[in-house]
Amino acid sequence: MNWFREILNVAISGLTARKVRTLLIMLGPVLGAAGIVAAVGLNESAKGDVRQTLERLGTNLIVASADGSFSAGQAPTLPEDAVERAMYVSTVDRVAGITEIGSLIVLPSQGGKDFFRTIPIPVLTSDQTLLDVLDAKMLHGRFINGADENNIFRSAVIGQDLANDYQYLPGEVRTIDVDGETYGIVGVLENVDLVPKLDTAVIIPKSAAEEDFDVEQKPTTLYVRATEGNVDSTAEALPMAINLGGDEAVTVAVPSDLLEAQGAVDTTLRNILFLMGGLALLVGGVGIANVMSISVIQRSGEIGIRRALGHTKTTIALQFVLEALFVGVLGGIAGVVTGVCVIYLVSSILGWIATLNIPLFLVAGGMALIVSVIAGLYPAWKAARLEPLETLRLG
Amino acid sequence: MNSTGLKDPNPVNSRQTQLFCLNDVYRIYGEEPVAVHALDGVSLDIHSGDFMAIIGPSGSGKSTLLGLLGCLDLPSRGSIKVSGTEVTELDDGARSRLRGDSIGFVFQQFHLIPHLTALGNVATALLYRDLTKSEINQRALQALDTVGLAERHDHRPVQLSGGEQQRVALARAIVTDPLMILADEPTGALDTKNAKMVMDIFKNLQGQNRAVVLVTHDLEIAEQMDRVVSMRDGKIIADDLRDERKQSLQDTFWESGSGSKLE
């Protein structure tokens, strides 16, 4: 144990005696490890907000839509009791249906009518449970309620993006023109990440839609929340449960899959960045081998005297390998810390959510260590092979 | 007569312990026909208590002999025994350990490790011996005290004069209590005053049951030694005791009539 402690001390004193050179050697692993951590970390941080949204929204939402051609200005529909049928699936937690009404022109009641005429605005009716199923929130006002339905009120809830387009001010009493009928805006729905089409939609009571536009109360789309961990099996069971062998074709989609794909780190890009970091590390390793080889020549006198004093080739080699090991350990740690700092700095500037990949730290630090030790092997071998007679210049 | 065929220089040595024994040693560099015969059948016995100089002109084989005596090199042919152990049969590790245990080196250029203090330099000789740090420091400090430098133990070589650096090197050589101190021109880089001081320390080391062997060009230094081995052309041509050797020295350095330094 003494032996190892002594050789550690010799290696440390060898490094601390030449601080500037040690720092220069260390730059290789520092830059390499920092490059790997920062490159991959920044790539992940750039996607961090999407993934955070996913975590918030959950991944158990399933969308079941009617599949088929439009007919008579009406989107293809699901059976009228599709919501009840969906609830028969034991893994379904809650369901809300919407009915999209096609071919309606929506305009703000005042100003810019000609401009807005060109923009298609989806108009739909929905179950009152929609907010609950989508975990959506109202930005202002309220959602369509029982009073609206029962009294056939011309109330409308509009999406947040549409409210912005119409320059709707919170609390302002505004109306909206839905295919010639004037509806009063009672609330603005906050953007729904999983169902972006609601962000520009107008939602009106079913009763008013039936009255004004003669719409069949058949849902066009169901939003289904599956119980935890049963998304795939639920999605598989839903079409059969909804159409029960009928004509209506049903397609199901899991929107979080798409979002997940968007949020997934670009593997190719990450691999390229990782390789670039690795390349930096490799160049750093060559630097270590180079500087340490020169160092062996410069320290040949020291090596010679140590050999004369009885130090074996093995201890001399080990001394240099340990020096390289220290460079690797310290350089790796410093590199990871530097990389983390870069991630936080860039994320704060660009408004990303800094994502730290702890296993990557170990990989980057470990690679710095391995490259440093491998780089130190040749100089160590060279040092061990130095003949003391040649270095001590006797006689 | 000894194995060299020369007269035994020190009859007293027959009662002393034989430490080093070179028997018919050859050291040849390169291969024929361009081979250099640096040592050509050298035999030499070194006993405890020997206070000995190896002298000879450049190219006589002194350095080669020093390398072999110091177990820093191996002969092309012949036998080298240190306390009865055949050096040529040892691997590098065993030879290094034997060197560390048996031989203390002093060099003309001191060869101190620049980033270590005087104490650290001396302590370097005690590493890898399963000693505790305090034992190492205590022994190193003791050795520095022997050469009168205990108070300067925390100075680095650059803060010491040439004479002091050589005394630190001497402390490093004796700290392991070796069988032989092997010094290569130990006063070569020193002024007269410091050279005398270093030689006085060597003389004090004499008689401590170890051999002191100096390789030198300097006749004045050689004259202070009890035994002088003269070399020429890779051979030992004389191995004399103090009283017998004046004429022999002059014979050896026929070129150096004008001064005491033999080149």
Residue B263 is predicted with a pLDDT of 37
Inside any domain, residue B62: yes
Cα nearest neighbour of B114 on chain A: A302
- Which residue in A has a C-alpha nearest to residue B67's C-alpha? A389
Strand-pair partners of B240: B228
Q: Note the ipTM here.
A: 0.85
Flag whether B222 is in a domain.
yes
Q: Is residue B103 part of a domain?
A: yes
Please give the structure tokens belonging to residue A292. Answer: 């340490």
Q: Distance (Å) from the C-alpha of residue A322 to the closest C-alpha of chain B?
A: 16
A243 band by pLDDT with thresholds 50, 70 and 90: confident
Confidence of residue A307 (pLDDT cuts 50, 70, 90): very high
Q: Collect all residues of chain B within an 8 Å Cβ-Cβ radius of residue A13.
A: 115-116, 120
| Within a domain: B85 | no
Residue B115 lies in a domain: yes
Sheet holding B103-106, edge to edge: B103-106, B180-184, B211-216, B51-55, B227-232, B235-241
Q: Is B97 within 8 Å of A302 when comparing Cβ atoms? A: no
> Cβ neighbours of residue A114 under 8 Å, at least 6 residues apart?
none
pLDDT score at A284: 83
Domain-wise residue ranges, chain A: 2-47+265-392, 57-262
CATH number at residue B144: 3.40.50.300
Closest residue in B to A302 (Cα) is B113
With CA atoms as reference, report the closest residue to A331 among A266, A378, A298, A285.
A285
Flag the least confident range among A182-196, A216-230, A253-267, B123-137.
A253-267
Is residue B2 classed exposed, middle or buried when 0-12, 13-18 and 19+ CB atoms within 10 A define those classes? middle
- pLDDT (0 to 100) of residue B151: 94
The model carries a pTM of 0.67
CB contact under 8 A, B101 and A310: yes
Task: Give how many domains chain B has, as a whole number.
Answer: 1
- Higher local confidence (pLDDT), A390 or A113: A390
In which residue ranges of chain B is pLDDT below 50? Answer: 1-15, 255-263
Which amino acid, residue A278? Answer: G
- Tell me the shortest Cα–Cα distance from B9 to chain A, in angstroms: 24
Q: Are B100 and A6 in contact (CB < 8 Å)? A: no
Sheet with B85-86, edge to edge strand ranges: B36-47, B18-29, B77-82, B85-86
Cβ contact, residue pair B131, A2, below 8 Å = yes
Among residues of chain B, what percentage have pLDDT more than 90? 56
Assess whether pLDDT exceeds 80 at residue A90. Answer: yes
**Which candidate, B128, B28, B13, B12, places its Cα nearest to that of B75?**
B28
Highest mean pLDDT out of A159-173, A362-376, B5-19: A362-376
Contact residues for B108 (Cβ-Cβ < 8 A; gap 6+): B184, B185, B186, B188, B189
Instruction: For Cα atoms A268, A270, A275, give the angle at the middle one, nearest 5 degrees.
Output: 95
Query: Would the pLDDT of A358 be above 50?
Result: yes
Question: CB–CB of B101 and A393 under 8 A?
Answer: no
Q: Is the dihedral of CA A204, A205, A208, A213 positive or negative?
A: positive
Q: Which residues of A touch B (CB under 8 A)?
A: 2-3, 6-7, 10, 13-14, 16-18, 301-302, 304-315, 387-389, 392-395
Residues of A in contact with B63 (CB under 8 A): 394-395
For chain B, how long is the longest CA-to-CA vector? 56
Residues whose CB is less than 8 angstroms from the CB of residue A347 and which lie 6 or more positions away in sequence, other chains included: A42, A45, A48, A353, A354
Contact A312 B97 (CB under 8 A): yes
Chain B nearest-CA distance from A365, in A, is 30
Determine the Cα–Cα distance for residues A63 and A65; give it in Å rounded to an integer. Answer: 6
Please check whether residue B35 lies inside any domain of the structure: no
Give A277-304 pLDDT, tens digit per residue.
Answer: 888 888 888 888 888 888 888 889 899 9
What is the residue-wise DSSP string for A55-70? HHH-S-EEEEEEES--
Among B211, B176, B177, B206, residue whose Cα is nearest residue B45 = B211
> What residues make up the domain containing B195?
50-71+91-252
Separation of alpha carbons B106 and B171, rounded Å? 9
CB atoms closer than 10 angstroms to residue B161:
11
The predicted-structure confidence for A311-336, as pLDDT tens digits, reads as follows 999 999 999 999 999 999 999 999 99
3-state SS assignment for residue A217: coil
A to B CB pairs, distance under 8 Å? 89
In this prediction, residue A241 has a pLDDT band, given cuts at 50, 70 and 90, of confident
Is B17 within a domain?
A: no
Contact, A109 vs A158, CB < 8 A?
no
Considering the domain boundaries, does residue B148 fall inside one? yes
- Rounded mean pLDDT of chain A? 84
